[in-house]
Amino acid sequence: MPDLRTFVNPKKRNQTWATSAKKFIKRRIPITGWIKRYSREDAIGDLIAGVTVALTFTPQSIAYAALAGLDPQYGLNSAFAGSLIYVFFGTIREIVIGPSSLMALLTYQYTSHLNVDFVVLLTFLVGVTEFLMGVFQLGFLVSFISAPVVSGFTTATALIVAISQVKGLLGLTLETSGIFDNLTKIFQNVNNVRLGDTILGVTCILCLLLLRKLKDVRISKSIKGREIIHSSFWFISTGRNAIAVIATSYLTFWYTKNDLQPPFITTKNVETGIPSMMAPPITTQIGNQTYNLQEMISELGISYVVISIVSVLANVAIAKVYVSSTIDASQEIMVLSACNIAGSFFQAIPSCGAFSRCGLISASGVRTPLAGLYSAGLTLMALRFLSPFFHLIPRSTLSAVLISAVIFLVDGKIFKPLWIADARLELATVIATAFVGLFIGVEIGLLFGVIVGLFSLLYKWARPKISVIRTQTPFGEYVQVRPESGIYFPSVDYILSLVTKLVEDDDGNGLPIVMDCKGIKGTDYTTAKGFVAITEMLEKRKRQLVFLDATSECQKIWKSAGIKNERFWISQYLMDNLYECIDRVEEENEMALLEVTND
Amino acid sequence: MPDLRTFVNPKKRNQTWATSAKKFIKRRIPITGWIKRYSREDAIGDLIAGVTVALTFTPQSIAYAALAGLDPQYGLNSAFAGSLIYVFFGTIREIVIGPSSLMALLTYQYTSHLNVDFVVLLTFLVGVTEFLMGVFQLGFLVSFISAPVVSGFTTATALIVAISQVKGLLGLTLETSGIFDNLTKIFQNVNNVRLGDTILGVTCILCLLLLRKLKDVRISKSIKGREIIHSSFWFISTGRNAIAVIATSYLTFWYTKNDLQPPFITTKNVETGIPSMMAPPITTQIGNQTYNLQEMISELGISYVVISIVSVLANVAIAKVYVSSTIDASQEIMVLSACNIAGSFFQAIPSCGAFSRCGLISASGVRTPLAGLYSAGLTLMALRFLSPFFHLIPRSTLSAVLISAVIFLVDGKIFKPLWIADARLELATVIATAFVGLFIGVEIGLLFGVIVGLFSLLYKWARPKISVIRTQTPFGEYVQVRPESGIYFPSVDYILSLVTKLVEDDDGNGLPIVMDCKGIKGTDYTTAKGFVAITEMLEKRKRQLVFLDATSECQKIWKSAGIKNERFWISQYLMDNLYECIDRVEEENEMALLEVTND
């Protein structure tokens, strides 16, 4: 048994001012920390990852801009600003901030009837809202996203992205919205499937999946140059996306060089320039109508609040997948805010992290957030110089790269443990979040999952575990009512009706009721009022009710509402008080009625 | 000590079919129960209360109709339908269903730009929504209104009603909205205060307050006819509102009989007839535009959902004030629904209970819901016959009746116990609910209070009480981490950072960490994943972590996510396992590692 107990306060530390300042800077501008340990391996890893992700990121950004109903450059601007800012302020290497399907979908939803000035202003307002969320430490709100919700959300997003890429893989050019529409139109257009694209795409997927395994290949110790082979395998495996893109682009080049039409669709030509830096618009015109800033903001309604919350939740959901220790949620919100505010100065659409991208950069062997620098650079170069070459990339290659990245985000592994643990509500939460996400919208799925989780938590306060035990002793019987947790206002009606039923059911017996309060770790005034009602109800029926072993804190609150001091007993003297004649144990009683001290 | 424990299930009872049916009818049509015990005293009490409340209720209903922007009869129709239906289905004698300031305000808010057909349809839709809330047993939601919220809500409503009556008391005729506007305009028009109204009103208030005390007067036993005097006092005290109304009406009559202009303002003439019964409108016309049912419903938006929720919450808040035992919330919702659906067939505005009215009928000595029959009858007579006489009632008398009724609803008594109990959040909740209620709107105040309560409950799951104790034993030291309640997903990040900090703070010591799970009554998969992350983090730092005395339920969930069997220990063998050499206690260890059975 322990013979001495000392309280250890984990927060209290002796720090000098300089240490604190250093810590603060390291926390707010994380690059100042990790850049000191930056090695050659890191540089190689980041270069490959940054370039690889940029090769997908760039055409993706164009696609997302189109999804938001805008011209290509707005997506690329967003990718550039997001990648660049995250390098300096980001804490999680796997996160690449930029346009995403989620953001693009929501942006389209709120601004499709307006012009691009509204979109840029929206980006700015999203940044400001995120900043306020960061300042007011609203990051803790993400604690309310449970693992099953993250799992369902991830699966839904991955499936939506994968299904959206199937048409590209098959060489179909379809205008679709939602996965239902997507699948329907693919089946309707099954005769228009292009053989060239399909062969190229499927081959790419197979190669990518095989190459993904390459780095895990075990090489027999007897083989010479084992280390070199292993390194090469790792390099090829890590750079597989880049290899696929370069190889298939060369294929296009070969066809065009030989004056042949390639048998697959290639990426659209991007004709843009470097974004000019300017403040977000504060006035605009649609048709004859001129909007000032106030009118523009009022026109945008609550869109920026919705998009901010979703972007923060999505980003932290991604972070939770990739980081197994604690996440500095406040910092992640602040950097997201910086990306969007900066983005609005480069005419960008709202940005956040995206699972597909994060999956890709993680699979490409990213080492630090510095990889974003290469992505940003390539995006900028794409805007300025590389656009003539991007048209060589076959569309089905990009689809294959995306599909083979996101397919591993479909979280099938969560079902077995939940099944084993018999956690039915959590299983249902995964499935419901995924289904709502797939068929209504991932942000709605996320919110739905969060709300289900919150209700289940509130329900625990409304229906606390209470055991009712008829206890026989050598001296007589009593009914023990034992709540197992804190008792707060939502459970008062429940306890009241429980005790009422208990009394109505065996009124004849008239046994004393002992409320065992050992498990009650907290309570409130509403409970106190409810307990007063119970004691009054029992007094009318001439039934005894005592509170056993209540902490002094609970006693204080309950007494304040009118529960008498005499009703608080301690278990040591329970038998004497309940069954012995009162005069014999009078002195002991007095001791028994002393307040129980808090443990 | 108890030697045998038997579980008593309070729900399980042997009931015949007939008993069940009888119980069901008694529950759904409560009049079938209490009417059998109806006595002469009940009849007298109900008659006086019913008539008294009707004398206030009727002019009030006219005022509420005006508040909702409608002609007088719509308020009276609502009062008639509400009073009548509640007699048969109501469970709480103090509740009088009818138009209320709350409902009138909300109705005006949603339908001021539409015509009366929309209002009647709204009443119907409110009834249907309430019916659905009843069917889906959403009555339990009212458990989430805490006593402080009810207190703040009641106080705000009482103050708003009282302040709204001051102008009537002073003989001022002002168009006001909100208490701020009310008070401002009263001060602006202080020179227009009419002496006659003021003297009459203030005299009425004083008389009413004195008469209220009359029934509590103790009569010396030596006085002859003590019983008769006591009964007379009770009768006068109970009927004080009726006395005030009749006496002052006679005053008006005296003035007019003598061809004098009374020195005070009297009630408006009501020119109406008995409402005809007809289905709620399904089509209407505003100007040139014709609306069909679908268009009408879409025009009403979510107004009926808001009004339904507020009416149910308000009704149960009232019920909680007047009923100290359990409330049959489902039945109260169903009867409210019936009142509104029936009301919509009599061209009524949405109705619910109101504190002022309930205070009045309670103070008038109501005995059963049958009092509503007299109110309904008088309302009907007012609509048909009595309207020529109602104009005799001085307006300031009605104001005085209302003020001296609602002033006792201002709940000052809650502050002392909350102060004693040191319940700061609850104190703040009372004040905030009241303030928001007063200055923004009582329904907003109510929702605000509920939301604060829910957040405080959720916060308890996010920041559970966890004691960290450095324990010294004769064999060595260890760090005990003991959560005091269930551990669910919102607390995972918190625990993770707590343990991380703990380890970072005294890394040098390398003491084993013992997670004492005795207090953990429930857990989930997210926690399990978090604990896996903690064990992995500690393994990297070569720190030991064991889970002590976890229930088998917790073990099942945590093991499903990957916590190893070896980490679950029981306290009996803790010392041996932590400090003795392993071979000596090997056998004991095996026993120690057996699962702890659930208590």
Residue A537 sits in a domain whose CATH number is 3.30.750.24
Residue B335 resides in a domain: yes
**What does the DSSP assignment read for A225-265?**
THHHHHHHHHHHHHTHHHHHHHHHHHHHHHHHHTT---SS-
Among B448, B444, B441, which Cα is nearest to B180's?
Answer: B441
**What does the DSSP assignment read for B319-344?**
HHHH-SS---HHHHHHHHHHHHHHHH
Angle B424-B428-B430 from CA coordinates, rounded to 5°: 120
Task: Collect all residues with Cβ–Cβ distance below 8 Å to B21 and sequence separation of at least 6.
Answer: none
**Domain identity same for A390 and A517:** no
A 468-497 residues inside an 8 A Cβ radius of B: 468-474, 479, 484-486, 488-494, 496-497
Q: How far apart are CA A205 and CA A400, in angstroms?
A: 5
More confidently predicted of A219 and A406? A219
pLDDT value of residue A14: 54
Residue B220 resides in a domain: yes
Contact A307/A107 with Cβ under 8 angstroms?
A: yes
Tokens 């227009």 belong to B192
Among B392, B357, B399, B355, which Cα is nearest to B204's?
Answer: B399
Helix %, strand %, coil % of chain B (to 5): 65, 5, 30
Which of residues B374, B400, B424 is at a domain's end? B424
CB atoms A561 and B417 under 8 Å: yes
pLDDT value of residue A147: 86
**Domain identity same for A470 and A560:** yes
Return the SS3 of A314.
helix
**Domain identity same for A203 and A87:** yes
Least confident segment among A73-87, A545-559, B473-487: B473-487
A560 touching B, CB under 8 A?
A: yes
pLDDT value of residue B8: 40
More confidently predicted of B475 and A76? A76
Chain mean pLDDT for chain B = 82
Residue range B21-79, pLDDT digits in tens: 888 888 888 888 888 888 888 888 888 888 878 877 776 777 677 667 677 778 889 99
pLDDT band at B326 (very low <50, low <70, confident <90, very high): low
**CA dihedral of A168, A174, A175, A181, whole degrees rounded to 10:** -90
User: What sign results for the dihedral spanned by CA atoms A579, A582, A585, A587?
Assistant: positive
Residue range B185-224, pLDDT digits in tens: 999 999 999 999 999 999 999 998 998 888 788 888 888 8
Q: End-to-end distance of chain A based on CA atoms, in angstroms?
A: 17
**Domain identity same for B419 and B471:** no
Q: How far apart are CA B127 and CA B351, in angstroms?
A: 9
Q: Which residue of B has its CA nearest to A147?
A: B526
Domain interval for residue A99: 40-420
Token couple for A14: 């002796």
Token couple for B571: 């306290």
In chain B, how many domains are there? 2
Whole-Å CA distances, A99 to A46, A59, A60, A82, A151 = 21, 11, 8, 8, 22
Residue B505 resides in a domain: yes
**Domain identity same for B53 and B168:** yes
Which of residues B371, B392, B424 is at a domain's end? B424
Token couple for B86: 């509640």
Q: pLDDT > 70: what percent of chain B?
A: 87
Least confident segment among A193-197, B334-338, B497-501: B497-501
CB atoms A496 and B7 under 8 Å: no
Query: What is the number of alpha carbons within 13 Å of residue A559 lying toward its C-beta?
Result: 16
Among B485, B481, B13, B568, which Cα is nearest to A460's?
Answer: B485
pLDDT band at B593 (very low <50, low <70, confident <90, very high): very low
Residue range B505-535, pLDDT digits in tens: 765 677 888 999 988 888 999 899 889 888 8
CB atoms B491 and A143 under 8 Å: yes
More confidently predicted of B252 and B235? B252
pLDDT for residue B586 is more than 60 = no
Least confident segment among A29-43, A167-181, B368-382: A167-181
pLDDT value of residue B239: 66
Query: What is the number of alpha carbons within 13 Å of residue A299 lying toward its C-beta?
Result: 23
Look up the pTM and report it: 0.73
pLDDT value of residue B35: 86
Angle B203-B206-B207 from CA coordinates, rounded to 5°: 85
pLDDT band at B400 (very low <50, low <70, confident <90, very high): confident
CB atoms B489 and A453 under 8 Å: yes
- Give the pLDDT mean for A115-132: 93
Residue range A479-509, pLDDT digits in tens: 889 998 888 988 888 888 888 888 877 656 7
pLDDT value of residue B7: 38
Give me the residues paired with residue B478 across strands: B471
pLDDT for residue B595 is more than 50 = no
- Give the pLDDT mean for A297-308: 85
Nearest to A505 among B13, B421, B522 (CB): B13
Kindly report the backbone phi and psi dihedral angles of residue A438, in degrees, each rounded to the nearest multiple of 5, phi listed first. -70, -45
A17 touching B, CB under 8 A?
A: no
pLDDT value of residue A91: 84
Q: How far apart are CA B590 and CA B575, in angstroms?
A: 14
Residue B599 resides in a domain: no
pLDDT value of residue B323: 66
**Domain identity same for A487 and A556:** yes
pLDDT band at B11 (very low <50, low <70, confident <90, very high): very low
B461 touching A, CB under 8 A?
A: yes
CB atoms A528 and B417 under 8 Å: yes
Pairing of strands A513-516, B513-516: unpaired
pLDDT for residue A413 is more than 50 = yes
Q: pLDDT > 90: what percent of chain B?
A: 18
Q: Which residue of A has its CA nearest to B329?
A: A493
pLDDT for residue B587 is more than 50 = no
A 36-95 residues inside an 8 A Cβ radius of B: none
B138 touching A, CB under 8 A?
A: no
Residue range A216-260, pLDDT digits in tens: 888 888 888 888 888 788 767 766 776 887 788 899 999 999 998
pLDDT value of residue B10: 41
Q: How far apart are CA B390 and CA B62, in angstroms?
A: 11
Which of residues A420, A443, A475 is at a domain's end? A420
Residue A556 resides in a domain: yes
Highest mean pLDDT, choosing among A53-62, A146-155, B588-597: A146-155
pLDDT value of residue B272: 60
Q: How far apart are CA A496 and CA A534, in angstroms?
A: 6
**Domain identity same for B577 and B468:** yes
| Long-range Cβ contact pairs of A588-594 (< 8 A, separation 24 or more) | A593/A565, A593/A566, A593/A568, A593/A569, A594/A570
pLDDT for residue A423 is more than 90 = no
- Give the pLDDT mean for B299-325: 77
**Domain identity same for A210 and A137:** yes
**Domain identity same for A496 and A582:** yes
**Domain identity same for B473 and B410:** no
CB atoms B461 and A457 under 8 Å: yes
Q: How far apart are CA A197 and CA A165, in angstroms?
A: 12
A 147-166 residues inside an 8 A Cβ radius of B: 147-148
Whole-Å CA distances, B50 to B65, B213, B357, B390, B422 = 21, 21, 11, 17, 42
**Domain identity same for A416 and A473:** no
pLDDT value of residue B313: 75
Chain mean pLDDT for chain A = 82
pLDDT for residue B349 is more than 90 = yes
pLDDT for residue B80 is more than 60 = yes
B584 touching A, CB under 8 A?
A: no
Residue A53 resides in a domain: yes
Residue A60 resides in a domain: yes
Provide the ipTM: 0.74
**Domain identity same for B341 and B490:** no
User: A2: which chain B residues are within 8 Å (Cβ-Cβ)?
Assistant: 471-473, 480
Q: How far apart are CA B240 and CA A307, in angstroms?
A: 60
Residue A16 resides in a domain: no
